[in-house]
Amino acid sequence: MTTDWQRRRFLRLGSGTLAGAGLALGANPLVTLAQASDGLLADGDDYRALVCVYLEGGCDGFSLLVPTGTAEHAAYARSRGTLALDRGRLLMLSQQGAASVGGSSGSEQAVGLHPSARDLEPLFDEGRLAMIANVGNLVQPTTREQYEAQSVALPAQLFSHADQAIQWQQLQGRNRGTEGWGARAATELSREHAQRSHLTSISMAGSNYWQSSKGQRPYAMKDTGVIGYNGLDASSGWQKPRHEAFRRVLEHERHNLFADAYADLQKRALQITGELGEVLEQESGRVPTPPPENPLAARLGMVARMVAARGSLGMHRQIFYVRMDGFDVHDNQNKEMPELFAALGEALAYFQSALDGLGESANVTTFTASDFGRSLNSNGDGTDHGWGNHLMAMGGAVSGGRVIGQMPVLDVDGPDSVQNGRILPTLAAPQYAATLLRWIGLDDEQLRDVLPTLANFSEHDLGFMT
């Protein structure tokens, strides 16, 4: 019989290797075990995937997309001071057709891209990139007067990184909840499609609130592939005996339900890690090498390899989470922001090109999200935490080449500024999320369950997906 000391040692080893294999137990080991045991392959060739590129720290979307009309740019320049970009430096965007939300046609919203984001310009011109104007975390429609009077429900701790990052990724109401809207969506997708449920939700940045719930965690990977078992490489001379010994431990007869379930999960994790590693190796030649010294591109390159392998893995619906850090630019913004936008544009353009080469452009939609936008006024060398923000959706199924929604007046004393140069959102994050989730296959009832505050808004489809 296994002693208490041996059992504790076994469980400590198991915890580390499970995390390394991307199969953290979460709060409900039996739920995770059931998901990991599902090895059924799906039939058919219907496939769609959402890729969330989370811009950690609060991306300054008002520097990425800038109004170029004479009066609009003048207001922007007054508010931003030394952070403002001259009109002559901006990449002028020619919009295709009318914006579908906000009551303003695309031709009335003259805009330009930050010059460092030039890799995004061809995607916009080709109609495969849409800019979604002034999106933010809202519980219900909110006017400036209502905000100032505190007469409507507002997100708690509005300008706090920790709170808003969690709330943005969960969208469960005024306060933080227990489930991410990505996790809820993955549950619905796994129910409807006969596929490997543990590969429905994949993170290239470890655990996150978007893909997590009480009984669910994403399958964690890194830009080089699967996260292996430390010190248990069967192909390594000195590690091979340890690998064999570990396998013998897993086959040992136990008389404890939890330990037995844990051992089964370990065996499944070993199998998953080995199988997925082999599949990715077979698909490696189909995806071009990412641009050097661009961590976001490297992570998106591995997402592309997973998309390439979706047929071998029998996947129909997947969601991916990729994070890019560095956007909390309280200082040195004029140096850091161009570098960030250049890396972001390069990575997104590379990823879309890789999907084109795989023939998966219409099947994969990439979208950006962030804690919040930035304040309009400079704090001297940077910006502070804001609220509304400009976001992007990219892919062959995106109705792009236009600005969706209404560009706000970028004036610290203007009608859209509510506090210290913070812009009140005109589109709600749940509306943005619902548009994406409807495309991947959720119906109205599922959307109401995944996004409980969506019912507070009259428009549930922003029109940027075909």
Does 30 have pLDDT greater than 60?
A: no
Confidence of residue 47 (pLDDT cuts 50, 70, 90): very high
Residues 6 or more apart whose CB falls under 8 angstroms from that of 306 comprise 202, 221, 280, 313, 318, 320
Q: How confident is the model at residue 282 (pLDDT cuts 50, 70, 90)?
A: confident
Helix spans in 91-202 (H): 121-125, 144-149, 161-170, 181-192
- Per-domain residue ranges of the chain: 38-223+290-456
Phi and psi (nearest 5°) for 186? -60, -35
Quick one: pLDDT at residue 108? 61
For residue range 306-320, list pLDDT tens digits in order. 999 999 999 999 999
CATH class (in words) of the domain with range 38-223+290-456 = alpha beta
The per-residue pLDDT for 101 is 59
pLDDT band per the 50, 70, 90 thresholds, residue 24: very low
DSSP 276: H
- Give, in order, the Cα–Cα distances in Å from 218 to each of 59, 63, 168, 279, 351: 24, 32, 17, 19, 21
Residue 15 has a pLDDT of 45
Report which of residues 142 and 105 the model is more confident about. Answer: 142
3-class DSSP state for residue 322? strand
pLDDT in tens, 383-408: 999 999 999 999 999 999 999 999 99
DSSP β-bridge partners for residue 55: 324, 370
What is the rounded average pLDDT of the residues 367-371? 98
Q: Write phi, then psi, for 138 (nearest 5 degrees).
A: -130, 145
The residue to which tokens 């570990």 are assigned: 246
pLDDT: is 257 or 411 the higher one?
A: 411
pLDDT(67) > 60 = yes
Select the more confidently predicted residue: 195 or 152. 152
The residue with tokens 């295709």 is: 96
Residues in the chain: 466
Quick one: pLDDT at residue 165? 97
